[in-house]
Structure 1
């Protein structure tokens, strides 16, 4: 497990949250990088990564049936024991290992506008058929969205296709330990019946390899999140209450859910495992 300090840093217009800073340190952006960030909706990566590279194009990926593609495929590319303070991630705070408490201004992710396409509109595309030529980018990122962008194997092939030889594709996503059974997904599927399942670390790296990538670096670590913020996305209130009761029962010595819940300052929290994987396309 990588437990190096994750201090917040200041950027023009706001602060970068510690967990995002950890990802940026893993990516190691260079001033001459030409980057593509592929996500579902608007995330913090373009604003955080853009100032550190030469050019960044952000794709807001949508399902193929709703895709409004800007350009063509052959067109030119546009350019664990220690506790930290709490930081915002999506709809709730997160605790990760290592680091000093960030300043209050760093406790929320900044959501500045994405870079835009040449027609002045945000770039929307199908992540399984990106509208960029082969080898167009030196850095390609996909953060916590791989399983929301379409068939993940097809998405990975596209991310690697548009990455030039010697470049890198960085995927950040939820995983489960290689020795952890699939029981952890039971509550995920209760919360979201369409949940595709959480891959093991070995499965995620295997998928990238089979798609044509060579694994270069891996960072796996555990986070804790408040249950209530996570359950805000449950399919209905009755399901949320059912999951909450199961987690409280586990805290009281009942059956294990795989979520490792505990009470922090009177609030119910649970754990997730995150992974950052850097791969290079195989020529």
Structure 2
């Protein structure tokens, strides 16, 4: 979250809109640094969803470890598969789980004198706000879960001021990486929409009517067990554990690059932060 906030570069004059699936932490993190934050829970209502599953999803569970310098090219470079990286944040450890504490100032509730106050429910493809209403619009790990991403992006850009910026944070895969990695994701969540390549994500944003100003792509490692707490069922979790353990022991590759850290099984993901501006 600290890395994302540095990327966002919020100002005290910003009027912000955060669109998330469920109660994400972004609005609370932005609150102390901007003039006003409006938080939208845009969790879609899905017909025929599996009984017993939670209707909202919180992305972060468990610690997240940014890959170390030895795993990354120098700052401001791009690897052959298109993964731009920043080694300045390498070796940082971010506590992202419930109840986690960091050295950063503890976020307060979103503040401001806008009409919405707290979190409201709305459709991400039909937001109840006028054109050009916000100077900063954010969507963290939710773009592909709020409806058709192209429609969501157009709506986020509609409510963003011409001189404002749209920040998208999401999972990605390298431009040369195949979709095999999604097999593990779909074992955990059969509704997983698939992980876009970096090129696909940036293409969608520009096609929706924005120009990309900055891009930060980096690799993180996560412990498997907190992530598997959100699995569809225990049988699916067992299959994932078995596949990842087999790979550690020299078996078939899953694309998750698992390894043992301190006696625990960890795996990798690639995250992207994209800053874009509406094209007038």
Identify whether the pair has TM-score above 0.5, normalized to the shorter chain.
yes
**CA displacement, residues 141-179 of structure 1 (integer Å, 9 cap, x when unaligned):** 000111111111111001101001111000000000111
Task: Determine helix, strand or coil for the equivalent of 2:227.
Answer: helix
Partner of 2:9: 28
Q: 1:61 to 1:102 in 2, by over 3 A?
A: closer
Partner of 2:52: none
Partner of 2:213: 216
Shift of 1:65: 7.6
Distance 1:201 1:113 in 2: 33
Distance 2:135 2:10 in 1: 10
Distance 2:21 2:105 in 1: 16
* 1:169 matched to 2:166: yes
Q: 1:144 to 1:120 in 2, by over 3 A?
A: closer
Equivalent pair of 2:35/2:111 in contact (CA under 8 Å): no
* 1:139 matched to 2:140: no
Partner of 2:126: 129
Distance 1:180 1:254 in 2: 19
Q: 1:114 to 1:236 in 2, by over 3 A?
A: farther
Partner of 1:263: 260
Q: 1:119 to 1:108 in 2, by over 3 A?
A: closer
Pick from 3, 25, 31: which aligns with 1:50? Answer: 31
* 1:241 matched to 2:246: no
Distance 2:255 2:46 in 1: 36
Q: 1:107 to 1:41 in 2, by over 3 A?
A: farther
Equivalent pair of 1:191/1:233 in contact (CA under 8 Å): yes
Equivalent pair of 2:32/2:107 in contact (CA under 8 Å): no
Shift of 1:54: 1.3
TM-score by length of 1: 0.79
Equivalent pair of 2:134/2:161 in contact (CA under 8 Å): yes
Distance 2:139 2:195 in 1: 16
Distance 1:247 1:210 in 2: 37
Task: Determine helix, strand or coil for the equivalent of 2:3.
Answer: helix
Equivalent pair of 2:38/2:119 in contact (CA under 8 Å): no
Q: Paired residues, what number?
A: 242
Shift of 1:61: 1.2
Equivalent pair of 1:189/1:195 in contact (CA under 8 Å): yes
Pick from 41, 64, 72: which aligns with 2:22? Answer: 41
Partner of 1:230: 227
Q: Which runs of 5+ in 2 are unaligned?
A: 48-58, 68-89
Equivalent pair of 1:114/1:122 in contact (CA under 8 Å): no
Equivalent pair of 1:44/1:110 in contact (CA under 8 Å): no
Pick from 200, 205, 225: which aligns with 2:202? Answer: 205
Equivalent pair of 2:31/2:107 in contact (CA under 8 Å): no
Q: 1:110 to 1:196 in 2, by over 3 A?
A: farther
Root mean square deviation of aligned Cα = 2.5
Task: Determine helix, strand or coil for the equivalent of 1:106.
Answer: coil
Pick from 46, 64, 78: which aligns with 1:94? Answer: 64
